[in-house]
Amino acid sequence: MAMNTGKKGYQSDINITPYIDILLVLLIIFMVAVPLKQHEHPVRVPQPAPAEQPKNVKPDSIIVEIDSDHTVRLNQQPVTLSELESTLTEVFARRAAKNMFIRGDSSLPYGDVFILLDIAKRAGVGDVALLEKSGSPPPAAP
């Protein structure tokens, strides 16, 4: 540090040493106080899915299945695409919960499943969940 000799007067530099001391004291206080803070909300960690999916389906669930040979079943009852919309409209007109599941073969093109989605939306279904058929092999990679 250079000293000015021969000049008399005020020094205009800011002395920051007291500010650094206060900053370090506050830092130590916060470092000690933070681990003592009690968290009021319990943390819930997501649990892994069970290895075996339950095969039991609610009796009031509506499941539309489409196979690789384009056969359509409504709750295990065979139905054609032309009568599927009228059947679904009749079923969902009486129900408060407008939820439906579509289970399809993974080898089907998405367009075939989209036809069922379109029929379901026209019939008044609110929420549609897509399921994969459990017995079908995974699609081959291109």
pLDDT at 52: 57
Query: Among 75, 64, 68, 71, which Cα is nearest to 119's?
Result: 64
Query: Rounded to two decimals, what is the model's pTM?
Result: 0.51
Give 105-120 pLDDT, tens digit per residue.
878 888 888 888 888 8
Give 52-64 pLDDT, tens digit per residue.
554 555 567 788 8
Give 23-66 pLDDT, tens digit per residue.
999 999 988 888 776 666 666 776 776 665 545 555 677 888 88
